[in-house]
Amino acid sequence: MDWRKLIVRNYRAKLVMFGLAILLWLFVMLRKEYDQELGVPVRVVHLKENKILMEVPPGRVETLFHGRGTTLILLSLFGRARIDLNLDKVQYSHAFPLRPDMVKWAPGIDADVVEIVFPDTIIIHLDDVISRNLAVKPLITISKDQDFSLTRPLRCDPESVRVQGPKSLVNGLSFIPTQARALDHVNSDINLKLDLISPADKKITVKPTTVKVTASVEKLIQREITEIPIHVIHCLPDKPGFSEPDQINLTLRGSKAAIENLKRSDLFVTVNVQNQPDVNENYIPAVNLPDEIQLVEMNPPSVTIIFRTSSASDSDGSP
C-alpha cells in the first residue's frame, strides 16, 4: 500500500475537515470559564498643578480575572483595563489599598475580578513644586601663557538660572554648575558657550540650559616707579627707627590699564620691626600693592634700620 498516495488523495477536503475540527475545538474550549492573571495599568489622575510625584507608582498591577475564554481574550486585547488613583485630596503621602472594585475596563466585556495579586497597596508621596533663581558656577580651570593675566574674572551670562522642582530637592541646591572645561595656554579673551549640569534627579528642570562664559585676558606690561618712601612701623615708643636708604625703587607688572592707572599714592612700603629692634638690623621691606599688580623687583632688596634712643631733652624740648 502506498501511504503517500493515500495521504495526498483528496488533500483539500482533508484540510477543510482538519480546520473545522480545530475551530470546533476552539469554540468548545473558549466557551469554558477560566481564571487568568493580567497586568492592569495604573493611572494617576487629578494631580494638582502645584504638586509633583516623588516616586513613580508601579506601572502595572497583577490582577486575577475570571470569565469565559472569549471574554478574557477580548479583555486582554481591547478591554483597556486600568486602575485610577485619584490624587485630588492627597497633600503629601497616602496609601491606596487596592481592591477588585477599583479595576475598570470597557463596557460589554463580562468578566470578574477575583483578586489583586500584587501589589496589594500603592503608596503615593507628593511634594510641593517651587521655583528658585540659583547662581551659575563656571567649572573652568585656566592655565595662562606667561606674561598674560586674567584682568576680568569669569562671568556667566546669565549669572543665575530658574530652577523648578520638588521643594525638598530644590532647597538643597546652592548653585548650578557648568560643564567642566580646562583651558591651556590662554593668551586671549575667553568666550564660551557651556551647557549647565542639571541635577541628576529628572524631576528638577533648569532654564535656560546653556550660559555664555566670558573673561578678559591681557598681556602684562612692566613699569618702574622710583623713590617710594619707606615707613618703619611697630617701633618701641622710646626707640624710633629710620630706614637707610629711606626710599626704594619698584619694578611692577600688570595689565596695561592697571599699570597706566597706578598712582604713587596707591603704593605703600613698610618695614615691620615687631617692637624688638636691634641696632643696624637689615630688613626686607613689604610692599602693599593693588590686587591686579605684581611686584617684579625692588631696589635695594633690603634696607638697614637705624634706631635712635629718645633722650629726656628730646621729650621736653630742652636745648
Q: Has residue 64 been placed in a domain? A: yes
- On whether both 229 and 179 belong to a single domain, the answer is no
Buried b (16+ CB within 10 A) or exposed e, 233-259: eebeeeeebebeeeebebebbbbeebb
Q: Has residue 12 been placed in a domain? A: no
Q: Has residue 124 been placed in a domain? A: no
- On whether both 60 and 99 belong to a single domain, the answer is yes
Sequential DSSP letters for 227-268: EEEEEEES-BTTB-EEEESSEEEEEEEEEHHHHHH--GGG-E
Q: Has residue 7 been placed in a domain? A: no
Number of domains in the chain: 3
Q: Has residue 68 been placed in a domain? A: yes
- On whether both 38 and 102 belong to a single domain, the answer is yes
CA atoms within 13 A on the CB side of 17: 5
Q: Which residues lie closer than 8 Å to 54 by C-beta, 6 or more apart?
A: 125, 126, 127, 166, 168, 203
Q: What's the CATH code of the domain at 212?
A: 2.170.120.40
CA 197/CA 141 separation, integer angstroms: 16
- On whether both 213 and 230 belong to a single domain, the answer is no
- On whether both 211 and 229 belong to a single domain, the answer is no
Amino acid occupying residue 87: L
The residue among 219, 242, 270 that closes a domain is 219
* Tens digit of pLDDT at every position of the chain (319 positions): 555 665 566 656 657 666 766 665 555 565 688 899 999 999 999 999 999 999 999 999 999 999 998 889 899 999 999 999 999 999 999 999 999 999 999 999 999 999 999 999 999 999 999 999 999 999 999 888 878 888 778 999 999 999 999 999 999 999 999 999 999 988 889 999 999 998 877 899 999 999 999 998 888 899 999 999 999 998 888 888 889 999 999 999 888 888 888 988 889 999 998 866 666 678 899 999 988 888 999 999 999 988 887 654 454 444 3
**Max Cα–Cα distance, the chain, nearest Å:** 159
- On whether both 213 and 244 belong to a single domain, the answer is no
All three cell numbers of 259, joined, read 599699570
Range of the domain at 259: 220-313
The residue among 67, 87, 119 that closes a domain is 119
Q: What's the CATH code of the domain at 51?
A: 2.170.120
- On whether both 187 and 235 belong to a single domain, the answer is no
Q: Has residue 301 been placed in a domain? A: yes
Q: Has residue 15 been placed in a domain? A: no
Q: Has residue 20 been placed in a domain? A: no
- On whether both 276 and 225 belong to a single domain, the answer is yes
Q: What's the CATH code of the domain at 247?
A: 2.170.120.30
The residue among 57, 85, 119 that closes a domain is 119
CA atoms within 13 A on the CB side of 131: 7
- On whether both 165 and 194 belong to a single domain, the answer is yes
All three cell numbers of 113, joined, read 475580578
